[in-house]
Amino acid sequence: MLYDFDGTLADSTELIMRCYRHTMATHLGECPPDDDWLSGFGMTLDSQLRRFARSDDEAAAMLDTYRTFQDGLHDQMLRPFPGAVEVVAELDRRGYLLAIVTSKHRRAAMRGMELCGLASHFDAIITPEDVTHPKPHPEPVLAALERLGVDAEEALFVGDSPHDVAAGRAAGTRTAAALWGPFPREALEHSGPDAFLHTQADVLALLD
């Protein structure tokens, strides 16, 4: 079982959007529409910011502003989605190998997973530091499969963004799209997941 983190296990959308709005207002003087940022969910933070920055130096400054602002809000705003901890614990109890495949950098990913009570259940955590090409490239998914020692056809990748589905499909896994994240079903349908999930517990039903 491979999972994305933000928007899939962790309810972090409002935290991310507050950080985005603050960063854009600080550096651009105004904030572009929320949809401009939402469309890039699933990409790495630095890749996202480069879409808005007018220079490399501004992109670096934006990254610092974003992270500093996020540090002050992170622990009070990040929480697991209802049922996420229980379902992951049940998968662990059943003996499934579990991996996180996230575009979140390692420090932030580990902080979030510990806060949500999820870290102890996962056998591997793949972040952008572990790969050359982040999602939607298949490399992070392939890295997770290698860490777990399983073939792609034995794995299911659960994510909330088209980038997750694209990465899983390109790597050869089955894919399931989480409908509780920020992307509407229509956006996810275009990426062609094998299944749609309405609740966290749907993962267990799908495996059964």
pLDDT of residue 28: 96
- Neighbouring CB atoms inside 10 A of 69's CB total 18
- Domain covering 2-11+79-207, topology: Rossmann fold (3.40.50)
Own/partner contacts of 128-131, CB < 8 Å, gap of 24 or more, are: 128/44, 128/103, 128/104, 129/105
How much is the pLDDT for 43? 86
Q: Does residue 56 surpass a pLDDT of 90?
A: yes
- All residues at 6 or more sequence positions from 113 whose CB lies less than 8 Å from its CB, including other chains: 5, 100, 119, 122, 125
Q: What is the pLDDT of residue 161?
A: 94
CA-based end-to-end distance of the chain: 13
Per-residue model confidence (pLDDT) at position 42: 82
Q: Find the mean pLDDT for residues 2-9.
A: 97
Structure confidence by residue, pLDDT tens digits, 126-164: 999 999 999 999 999 999 999 999 999 999 999 999 999
* Tens digits of residue pLDDT in 158-201: 999 999 999 999 999 999 999 999 999 999 999 999 999 999 99
Phi/psi at 161 (5° precision): -120, 155
pLDDT given for residue 169 in this prediction: 97
* DSSP code for 54: S
pLDDT score recorded for residue 208: 85
Q: What is the mean pLDDT of residues 70-92?
A: 96
CATH of 13-77, one of 1.10.3470, 1.20.120, 1.25.40, 1.10.150: 1.10.150
**Which residue's structure tokens are 């928007």?**
7
Domain boundaries, the chain: 2-11+79-207, 13-77
The residues carrying an active-site annotation are 4
pLDDT of 41 reads 85
